Structure 1
Amino acid sequence: MRSSIVFPSLSILALALSGCGGGDSDSSSAMVSFSVADAPVDDVKAVWVTLESVTLTDTSDDTNSHTLVINNSDGDPEPLLINLKDYQDGAKKLIISDAEVALGDYNLTLNTYGCPQSANGTGSTNDCWVVENDDTIYPLKTPSNKLKLGSFSVSQEGTQAYTIDFNLRSALVNNGGGDNYNLKPHGITIVDNFTLGKISATVTDTLFNLADDTCTAGTGNALYLYQGWHSTSGILDVTLGDEFDPDVDTDIAEDVLMPYASKLVTTASESTPEGDVPVEYVFANLPEGNYTLAFSCSDAGYAQNGDPSNGDSAEYYDQITIANPTEQWVELSVSYDQTAAHAFDVSAL
């Protein structure tokens, strides 16, 4: 089920953030800017987090690091409080602008402010908190106020811009006691703005009654996006997995593919005399390359970001059937500043 339009292949990302290091003082450098963005989470109204700084550490010498603080509009250091859900579907929040970075290889840590909780799981919600759909407010924790996001390279001179993209369906987890949330590095990626494109997917209600188990909009139906093409002669050669964290759920078969991103299908199509009006869902901030996109109408599985009271969690593989109906998957390619589109409806059956 491969799209007939083929775009350029996946580029190698030069994942860079602002800072100094990774070389001697005479090395060349680049001017780098950084923004944050969010892929929506389903069952909360707001995710407030305070960002303080970015730390870059030389990958060849962990004693060589440099921290860049976030400044206010007057140029003075000041932590930045933002609601991540305000920056979705391609919207971004600039946090560091035109910082000079020496060319080199770095590990990146995004430092938050006021996010750790006390030992009993409670804590202040003045700096980091989550608002659920029923307006209940819970503290939000990040590990030691640090999100360690892995390695990247500043590999060319000139001006570069990057986005720290939060996939909250993976990164935001309600803890086992249900009295606070954890924000984890899993599901947060760093992408070069000059390689970014989008995928637009539409879904019609007619699919819901054609799935293996009859289901309705808003009860566990989701779109799952995977990096790469994974089929031979039109047959998938992997198992498309739901959201899970391989560092937590370690007993998963090798052929289960972890999603790059996912979106809950929550809105029913508008009914008109001409038929269903499809609802659009957008995956933004995607690096150039090939992707597999699948629809799953699976009431039996839990397609949201987890309910600890019944054992469900985005950290664990729930074995949701993807795709469901089985024909509802497609292979697409994304190129810079372009939108690849696909319609999930009965025409694919």
Structure 2
Amino acid sequence: MTHKYTYLAALLPLFMLSGCGSSSDNTSEGETTFSLSVSDAPVDDLSEVMVCFSQVELKGGSEDLLFEVGDGDNMIMPNEACVDDNEVVIANTLGIDLLAYPGSASFTLLEDIIIPAGEYSQLRLAISDGSYGVLEDSSKVEIQVPSNELKLDGFTAVISGVSDLTVEFDLRKGMTDPVGQDHYILKPRGVRLVDNSTSATISGSADALQLCSLTAPEEGDFGGSIYLYQGFNLDINDLSDNGGSGTYLPYASTLVSYDGENYGYEIGFVAADDYTIAFSCATEDDPDEDDGITFLQKQEMTLESSDIVVNFEATDL
């Protein structure tokens, strides 16, 4: 049985940091506080990725819980960003441009909702029609989601606790451009559910001018890519790109971009674990193909709940 909750929740300001803390003072015995945010890692060839959310569903626990976009019973506020082929607004949808929330920035879908404690086997995001991307020439291209639903891992909601989660969209891994088709596909393989209490941000700089022999950069230019892998003692020659055939597939990846002074990167909402992080001069990565990317450097680190800075210097070659 799916239970529809009828509390109202307000959206936080557009740019915020997830995991900034929530209160569980209002919970009763057998309940916990639940919050959910959305974040993104950038994709190579789209300037906007508008995804149209219609429902959030929690499977398991003492009962299935359903949070709908819409009037009266909604947990998230609809907007007019999603339209059909006739430019008519699709009712009960919330359109979010994922590219507006890179790295550690996020958009709050649900905040401080009281839910029953227990084991939730899945979190599902229902995606309506109307999702689209914007290409470099400003034209729009349809984005489709298989079965209009993203099925993610579950989580444990402890009694009188706080479940503060973020859905991280790694678009370089999950957004594909099928050959011969006029739309993009957003696949669940590029989406992960992260517990903010045990996650952190990895950021840093890369000496792309020297490492990649670049000249005269302009603000917004890409100067390589960063790839993150779970585990230590990984041979750099066995590291794979997204869609590659190497031994080790990336946990996450992001582009290195020039801010007018330096080339930098940021990967937000990374779960606590041991990682290998690697730098490549490549800036394009087809998640459906083995692009044969060459990695110049790699480093190892243990990520706990504190942010880490990892830089890639030309002197390290």
TM-score (norm 1): 0.69
Paired residue for 1:22? none
Is the CA contact (8 Å cut-off) linking 1:290 and 1:331 kept in structure 2?
yes
Pairing of 1:29-178 with structure 2 (within 5 A) = 29-58=31-60, 65-70=64-69, 78-102=92-116, 103-114=118-129, 127-178=130-181
TM-score (norm 2): 0.75
- Cα distance 1:228–1:27, how it changes in 2: closer, same or farther (>3 A)? farther
The alpha carbon displacement at 1:346 in A equals 1.9
Secondary structure of 1:67's counterpart equals strand
1:243-279 CA-to-partner distances (Å, cap 9, x unmatched) read 02xxxx8xx46xx111111122343x86xxxxxx542
**Contact 1:34 1:161 (C-alpha < 8 Å) held by counterparts:** yes
Q: Does the 8 Å CA contact 1:51/1:113 hold for their aligned counterparts?
A: yes
In the alignment, the residues of structure 1 paired with residue 137 and residue 303 of structure 2 have an alpha-carbon distance, to the nearest angstrom, of: 37
Ranges in structure 1 where 5+ consecutive residues have no aligned partner? 1-25, 115-126, 271-276, 307-313
Q: In the alignment, residue 167 of structure 2 is paired with which amino acid?
A: I
2:228 corresponds to: 225
Task: Name 1:265's counterpart in structure 2.
Answer: 256
Question: Gapped runs of 5+ residues in structure 2?
Answer: 1-27, 77-91
Q: CA deviation at 1:110?
A: 0.7
1:208–1:216 contact (8 Å) kept in structure 2: no
Question: Per the alignment, in what secondary structure is the counterpart of residue 105 of structure 2?
Answer: coil
Q: 1:345 to 1:185 in 2, by over 3 A?
A: same
Superposed displacement of residue 84, structure 1: 0.6
Alpha-carbon spacing, 1:108–1:137, altered in 2? closer, same or farther (3 Å): same
Q: Matched residues in 1 for 2:99 and 2:112: separation? A: 25
- Which stretch of structure 1 is more off in the superposition, 186-195 or 102-111? 102-111
Q: Deviations over 1:204-259 (max 9, x none)?
A: 111114xxxx999868832111122234xxxx287110002xxxx8xx46xx1111
Work out whether 1:297 is the aligned partner of 2:281.
yes
- What amino acid is aligned across from residue 39 of structure 2 in structure 1? A
Letter in 2 for 1:136: S
Instruction: Pick one of 280, 291, 299 that aligns with 1:330.
Output: 299
Q: Alpha-carbon deviations, 1:279-327, whole Å to 9, x = none?
A: 22111111122211111124xxxx5243xxxxxxx12332322x22xxx
The CA distance in 2 between the partners of 1:219 and 1:27, in whole Å, is 51
CA contact (8 A) 2:150 2:188 kept: yes
- 1:284 aligned partner, one-letter code: G
Contact 2:153/2:193, CA 8 A, preserved across alignment? no
Displacement, 1:149? 1.6
- What is the Cα deviation at residue 193 of structure 1? 1.1
Q: Report how many aligned residue pairs link the two structures.
A: 270
Equivalence for 2:289 = 316
Q: What percentage of residue pairs aligned between the two structures are identical? A: 29
Letter in 2 for 1:339: D
Residue number in structure 2 paired with 1:242: 241
Q: Which has the higher contact order (CA 8 A, sep 6+)?
A: 1
Give, in angstroms, the shift of residue 199 of structure 1.
Answer: 1.1
3-state SS, counterpart of residue 212 of structure 2: helix
Aligned residue number for residue 206 of structure 2: 203
